[in-house]
Amino acid sequence: MDYREIFVSNLPELVLASQSPARRSLLESLGCIVHVKPTYSDEFHTGSSPLLVVQELAERKMSAYLTMHPHPELPVLTADTIVSCEGKLLGKPTTERDAEMQIQLLNGRTHSVLSGFALYRPGDHHGPPAMISGADETFITFHRIDESDIASYLAGGDWVGAAGSYRIQGDAKVFIKNISGDYSTVVGLPIQAISAILSSPVSL
């Protein structure tokens, strides 16, 4: 499947309602013109199903964006990412100690990274406005990391603002032993899942 062709054909220009540089870079690498307008929506949740949680949070961000911009002229994309390990859902750490605890939990274990999305497309001569949403899961296994490497990683600060305290494309990439699933889901935007919907005969 040619993801670049799918995105350029269906979403040549869009609003990314997220402050994530990685998501923007991913979309631009697919040939999209991206306008960044974050919603700063809260990420509180009470759910226990990781896939439903990330989808709900992405939909909440979309609702917040549409409240602020009721009639967007361009398609709008929102997303959210969490990490699940040993029954615990890990969001963004608030302190270095939080980050240390998250990395220690992932240390030597297999965990999942889940990214949800919501995509709004304005109405046109083909039909009224419509929104789709979904989520995807990728499994990551970390090597066994020694304490000195963890301390060095934390000191570098790459954990700040990252779900599960790491970015797959950042300093923590050396921790990764195996990836099973869509790499882009771990970056923060499930490109394969979105492409499958966009290329479907019943796509919005």
pLDDT band at 94 (very low <50, low <70, confident <90, very high): very high
The reply to whether 80 belongs to the active site is yes
15-36 pLDDT, tens digit per residue, is 999 999 999 999 999 999 999 9
Q: pLDDT grade, residue 123 (50/70/90)?
A: confident
Q: How far is CA 20 from CA 6, 46, 94, 189, in A?
A: 22, 24, 17, 10
Q: To 10 degrees, what angle do helices 147-156 and 96-106 make? A: 140
**Dist. CA 125–CA 37, nearest whole Å:** 26
What is the phi/psi pair of residue 198, to 5°?
A: -65, -30
Q: What is the pLDDT of residue 1?
A: 67
At 37-47, the pLDDT tens digits run 998 776 666 66
pLDDT of residue 48: 67
Percent of the chain with pLDDT over 70: 93
In this predicted model, what pLDDT tens digit does every residue of 143-155 receive, in sequence order?
Answer: 999 999 999 999 9
DSSP string covering 74-95, please? S-EEEEEEEEEETTEEE---SS
Task: Name the band, by pLDDT with cuts 50, 70 and 90, for residue 124.
Answer: confident
Look at the pTM and tell me if it is higher than 0.85.
Answer: yes
- Provide the pLDDT for residue 116: 96
Render pLDDT for 96-110 as a digit per residue (tens, 0 to 9). 999 999 999 999 999
For the chain, how many helices (H) and strands (E)?
7, 7
Q: Are strands 110-121 and 76-85 parallel, antiparallel or unpaired?
A: antiparallel
Portion of the chain with pLDDT greater than 90, in percent: 83
What is the pLDDT confidence band of residue 66, given thresholds at 50, 70 and 90?
Answer: very high
- Given 2, 42, 80, 124, which residue is catalytic? 80
Q: How far apart are CA 185 and CA 83, in angstroms?
A: 11
Report domain extents, the chain. 3-198
Q: How confident is residue 204, by pLDDT bands cut at 50, 70 and 90?
A: low
- The phi, psi pair for 92, rounded to 5°, reads -80, 135
Neighbours of 116 (CB within 10 A): 29
Alpha helices in 30-146 (DSSP H): 50-68, 96-106
Choose the CATH number for 3-198 among 3.90.950.10, 3.40.50.920, 3.40.430.10, 2.40.50.840. Answer: 3.90.950.10
Q: What are phi and psi of 108, to 5 degrees?
A: 75, 10
Residue 39's pLDDT is what? 86
The residues near 144 (Cβ < 8 Å, ≥ 6 apart) are 107, 108
